[in-house]
Structure 1
Amino acid sequence: MPGTPGPRRPGAIRTALLCAVTAAGLYGCSSPGEQETPSPPSPTGPSPSASPIARSPFTGLPARPAQVLAVKIDNVPAARPATGLGTADLVYVEQVEGGVTRLLAVYSAHLPERIGPVRSARESDLALLRPFGRPVLAYSGAQSALNPLLRAAPLYPVTESSTPAAFRRDPGRAAPHNLYLLPERALAAEPDAGRAKDIGFRFGSAPPDGRAVNVTTVRYPAARYTFTWSAPDRAWRVAMDGRTARSTDTGPLTPETVVIQYVTVRPSGFRDRFGSVSPYTETVGSGSALVLRDGRAHEARWNRPTADAGTAFTTPAGTPLNFARGQVWVVLAPR
Structure 2
Amino acid sequence: MRQMARTRRGAMTAALLAITAMGSLMTGCTADDGARGRTVDDGRGPAQGPGEDHKETASTGSVLAVKIDNVRAARPQTGLDAADVVYTEQVEGGLSRLMAIYASKFPKAIGPVRSARESDLELLRQFDEPTLAYSGAQHKLLPLIEKAPLDAQPPGEASNGYYRGTDKPAPHNLYLRPEQLVGSAPGSDALTTGFHFGTAPAGGSPETSRTVRYPSARFTFTWSESRQRWLVAMDGTPTVTTEGKTVAPATVVVQYVKVRPSQFHDSLGNNTPYTETVGSGKAEVLRDGRVFDVNWARPNAADGTEFTTSDGTPMNFAPGQVWVVFAKA
Question: What is the TM-score normalised by the length of structure 1?
Answer: 0.80
The 1:197/1:225 distance shift into structure 2, 3 A limit, reads: closer
**Counterparts of 1:199 and 1:100, CA distance in 2:** 25
**Counterparts of 1:181 and 1:221, CA distance in 2:** 29
**Counterparts of 1:76 and 1:326, CA distance in 2:** 25
Runs of 5+ unmatched residues, structure 1:
2-31, 33-55
Deviations 1:87-146 (A, max 9, x none): 000000000000010000000111000000000000000000001111100000001110
CA contact (8 A) 2:106 2:185 kept: no
Q: Give the aligned residue type for 1:58.
A: A
Following superposition, the deviation at residue 184 of structure 1 comes to 0.5
Q: Percent of counterpart pairs with the same letter?
A: 55
CA contact (8 A) 1:290 1:297 kept: yes
Alignment partner of 1:77 out of 60, 72, 83: 72
**Counterparts of 2:269 and 2:312, CA distance in 1:** 43
CA contact (8 A) 1:66 1:109 kept: no
Kindly indicate whether residue 56 of structure 2 is the aligned counterpart of residue 63 of structure 1: yes
**Partner residue, 1:231:** 225
196-205 or 275-284: which moved more? 196-205
Following superposition, the deviation at residue 195 of structure 1 comes to 6.6
Alignment partner of 1:95 out of 81, 90, 93: 90
Q: Give the aligned residue type for 1:242.
A: G
Q: Secondary structure at the match of 2:260?
A: strand
Q: Secondary structure at the match of 1:320?
A: coil
CA contact (8 A) 1:66 1:108 kept: no
Kindly indicate whether residue 255 of structure 2 is the aligned counterpart of residue 261 of structure 1: yes
Following superposition, the deviation at residue 231 of structure 1 comes to 1.0
Following superposition, the deviation at residue 247 of structure 1 comes to 1.2
Question: What is the TM-score normalised by the length of structure 2?
Answer: 0.82
**Partner residue, 1:143:** 138
Q: Give 1 or 2 for the bigger CA radius of gyration.
A: 1
Following superposition, the deviation at residue 171 of structure 1 comes to 2.3
**Partner residue, 2:266:** 272
**Partner residue, 1:156:** 151
**Partner residue, 2:296:** 302
Alignment partner of 1:179 out of 171, 174, 177: 174
Alignment partner of 1:212 out of 206, 216, 220: 206
Q: Secondary structure at the match of 1:332?
A: strand
Following superposition, the deviation at residue 255 of structure 1 comes to 0.1
Following superposition, the deviation at residue 273 of structure 1 comes to 2.7
CA contact (8 A) 1:86 1:250 kept: no
Deviations 1:224-282 (A, max 9, x none): 11000001111100000111011113511100000000001110001123321100000
CA contact (8 A) 2:48 2:191 kept: no
CA contact (8 A) 1:143 1:273 kept: no
Q: Secondary structure at the match of 1:151?
A: helix
Q: Secondary structure at the match of 2:145?
A: helix
**Counterparts of 1:59 and 1:244, CA distance in 2:** 25
CA contact (8 A) 2:256 2:282 kept: yes
Following superposition, the deviation at residue 198 of structure 1 comes to 2.8
**Counterparts of 2:223 and 2:175, CA distance in 1:** 30
Deviations 1:284-309 (A, max 9, x none): 00000000000000000000011111
Alignment partner of 1:134 out of 129, 133, 136: 129
**Counterparts of 2:273 and 2:193, CA distance in 1:** 24
**Partner residue, 1:106:** 101
Q: Give the aligned residue type for 1:264.
A: K
**Partner residue, 1:169:** 164
The 1:229/1:152 distance shift into structure 2, 3 A limit, reads: same
Structure with greater helix percent: 2
CA contact (8 A) 1:90 1:329 kept: yes
CA contact (8 A) 2:47 2:189 kept: no
RMSD after superposition: 2.0
**Counterparts of 1:329 and 1:204, CA distance in 2:** 17
Runs of 4+ in 1 over 2 A off after TM superposition: none
**Counterparts of 2:157 and 2:197, CA distance in 1:** 37
